[in-house]
Amino acid sequence: MSTQLYATDQTKATYTISARGKTKSEPIMAFIKKNFANVPLAQIESVFAFVERSTLYGGRAFNGRQLSNADVISLNKIGIGVRIPLTNHFASREEYIKTSLMLQKYHNSLNSVICTNDDLALWIKEDYPLYDIEASVIKNLTTKSKIDDALEIYDTVVLPMVANDNDELLDSLVDKSRIRLFANAGCAYTCPARICYKSFSKMNKFKGGEFKCSQDIKERDSLGMIDFDLGRLQDKGFHKFKLLRSQAGNFTGY
């Protein structure tokens, strides 16, 4: 990971960081030190990760919780929140009710929930008002009108990685304090279809399903992890960033 981009003098920047690859048994502070050592702890706003089992997870396959109860307590104790990625495309009222104990457990003003399904976002917003509700990158909000519509429901929205290259779109946005951009990018940056998201949504129902990737649809360069110019984005007024953890070989996926 580049030290240049994250150890900046522009301390207004805050980061939500990925716990992908963390196991429940590894203490969260050790994980952060190992994988995000270049990010000042004071600028880490939150960690996004799986907690208890739920059929409402999306984005990645749920293979077990990543944050233990002790992890959540230690993060909250120093003012870092937990983002629960309930980003499944498909959400029934019955599933939501079954998730209520988990939502109640982590319900405080530091923590937040990431959603793709608008109905789920509205249910959580009504019943658990202390959570910030964030629109997932999976919603693929690529126009100002889509972003404005999402901001009617969500407290913040995550824009897709390619939005960082769209100066016209970025400059047109008014309330930039509610926009989260990617600090770095992996396979989704050049992905032609992003069909993995819906396949993960189905797999996380624990009723079968299979992983699908659009890699075969269109051959593309495997660029590895890309660091964006955060100084440029901050000069435009954006200060909320999502920071991914690279896997071996400096990749997030393919």
Domains of the chain with CATH codes: 3-243 (3.20.20)
pLDDT for res 151: 98
User: What is the DSSP secondary-structure string of 33-75?
Assistant: HHH-TTS-GGGEEEEE---S--TT--SS---S-SS-HHHHHHH
What pTM value is reported for the model?
0.87
What is the phi/psi pair of residue 177, to 5°?
-70, -15
Query: pLDDT for 159-211, tens place per residue?
Result: 999 999 999 999 999 999 999 999 998 766 766 666 666 666 676 777 777 76
Q: Is the pLDDT of residue 105 over 50?
A: yes
Mean pLDDT of the residues in the chain: 87
pLDDT tens, residue by residue, 107-130: 999 999 999 999 999 999 999 999
Instruction: Name the residue with higher pLDDT: 133 or 20.
Output: 133
- Give me the pLDDT at residue 198, please: 65
Phi, psi of 210 (to 5 degrees): -145, 150
Integer Cα distance of 144 and 148 in angstroms? 6
Q: In terms of Cα–Cα distance, which of 252, 242, 26 is closest to 135? A: 242
pLDDT digits (tens, 9 = 90+) for 25-43: 999 999 999 999 999 999 9
